[in-house]
Amino acid sequence: MALKANEQSCTKVWIFNVLLGLCLVIALLFHGFFNKGYSFILTSSPPSEGGDSSTKKGQLSVVEGPGPLLEARGKVVKPQVNVKAPWVPDNTTTLCPLVPPQLVGALEPFQDAPSFEEVVKLNPGLEPGGHFHPPDCRARSRVAVVIPYRDREQHLRILLHNLHPMLMRQQLDYAIIVVELAQPTEFNRAMLLNIGAVEALGLWDFQCFIFHDVDLVPENDRNLYTCPKMPRHLSVFVDIFGYHLPHQMIFGGVTALKREQFYAINGYPNKYFGWGGEDDDMASRITESNLTITRDELDVAKYRMLQHDRDWGNDPNPNRYKLINTWKSRHDKDGLNSLQYTIQTVEFRPAYTWINVTIDKDTILKVRTALVRVLCVAPSFFDVCSGGSS
């Protein structure tokens, strides 16, 4: 009996080792496959009259124009079909100067918070939805300033009081896009930035995005919000950090990317609910895609942070380090191609465009691929299986 039991035990160990070996071989094959840069994108066809969108599988191909970003969305529900921006096209043929002539350099940021209507009066030429283009020359950059938002009206008024005159002096064709996540879902900054970028291109032919936290105010108008050759970290030196860069692998606060760059890296990850982690994940995506994060000098890239308490629904994400450590396994499948959200409202308010959205957290966290399911045969050996989703 003892001999028979020992034989059975050895057989089980042998079977386990064979299965483990197969898992390792499969993992290595997939690892090599994905590291060659293949990306499978879930795209959506244009919404039907009812607002629903059917989906199909496509392949990532970086081309000029807004089309790829608009098509790279996952499931999007839009109750308002064919929303048109009330903005006047710029028909000027003469390009604006390479260096805007009205820049003043170092600024003392406004601390008062005028009403949005007052902001418009203070900035002649501003169109509904917070859009502007220079009246006497053609802007060199068409820029969507995307602000992730929830319940920070005071800060938004202060920020726009500072931003609008600065961006006008920089002679940009720009619009302010405020993306608000409806309660009670935990705040997801990265996903709101993805949504803002995609939806902005449905309104205007923007060439690049400025992703802008609502509590950071620039202190120098020579910190240009133009389209960068490489991804640009704008808010390098912030007062609360003693005007020092916390660490090199950070890409948060205020950043700039061309739309082609944003598309090529699959945008931001969507799984970061709560505070922290998405900036480091994004920096890794950029460098892994053979792009370089650029930064300006101390006297230019300075920002002041507006004081505030911790927001409701934005507590530190307990899973942020786990997500950061597994960013590479999710890069090609967590981002623009896995977006799922519902647009509640699009409004062209006096000083900005407001997009209100809802997100189903459970749905976003459950998005997985066949690869992850295969690897989870031996969960203790693969970090991508930890936490129940990847």
Q: Report all structural domains of the chain as residue ranges with CATH numbers, in order of start.
A: 103-365 (3.90.550.10)
pTM confidence score: 0.75
What string of DSSP letters covers 11-25? HHHHHHHHHHHHHHH
Q: Strands 216-218 and 302-305, how do they pair?
A: antiparallel
User: Does 264 score more than 90 pLDDT?
Assistant: yes
Tokens matching residue 303:
């920002």
pLDDT at 48: 29
Kindly calculate the radius of gyration of the chain based on its CA atoms and give it in whole angstroms.
23
Cis omega (within 30 of 0) for bond into 148:
no
**What pLDDT is recorded for position 386?**
34
| Residue 67 confidence (pLDDT) | 55
When pLDDT is averaged across residues 307-327 and rounded to a whole number, the result is 64
Give yes or no for residue 33 having a pLDDT over 80. Answer: no
- What average pLDDT does the chain have? 79
Q: Is the pLDDT confidence value at 129 over 60?
A: yes
Contact 76, 339 (CB under 8 A): yes
Q: What is the pLDDT of residues 292-316, one digit of tens each?
A: 999 999 999 999 999 866 555 566 6
The DSSP result for 245-295, as a single string, is -S-SS---SEEEEEHHHHHHTTSS-S---SBSSHHHHHHHHHHHTT---EE
Lowest mean pLDDT among 216-225, 296-305, 374-383: 374-383
Q: How far apart are CA 274 and CA 327, in angstroms?
A: 17
Look at residue 179 in the predicted model and tell me its pLDDT.
98
pLDDT category at 28 given cuts 50, 70, 90 is very low
In percent, the amount of the chain with pLDDT more than 90 equals: 55
Alpha carbon distance 373, 367 (integer Å): 11
Buried/exposed code over 321-357 (b: 16+ C-beta within 10 A; e: otherwise): eebbebbbbbbbbbbbbbbbbbbeebebebbbbbbbb
Coil, strand or helix at 344:
strand
Which carries the bigger pLDDT value, residue 207 or residue 250?
Answer: 207
Instruction: List the catalytic residues.
Output: 213, 215, 275, 278-279, 305, 308, 310
pLDDT at 388 over 70: no
- DSSP at 106: B
H or E segment and range at residue 145: strand 142-149
Banded model confidence at residue 266, pLDDT cuts 50, 70, 90: very high
Q: Distance (Å, rounded) from C-alpha 266 to C-alpha 65?
A: 16
Q: Is the pLDDT of residue 368 over 90?
A: no
Cα-Cα-Cα-Cα dihedral sign, residues 14, 15, 17, 21: positive
Q: How far is CA 351 from CA 115, 121, 132, 223, 339, in A?
A: 9, 10, 10, 22, 27
Residue in the structure block whose two tokens are 């032919």: 205
Bridge partner residues of 106 (DSSP)? 220
pLDDT digits (tens, 9 = 90+) for 98-110: 999 999 999 999 9
Residue bearing the bigger pLDDT, 375 or 265: 265
Would you say residue 271 has pLDDT above 70?
A: yes
Give the pLDDT score at 6: 53
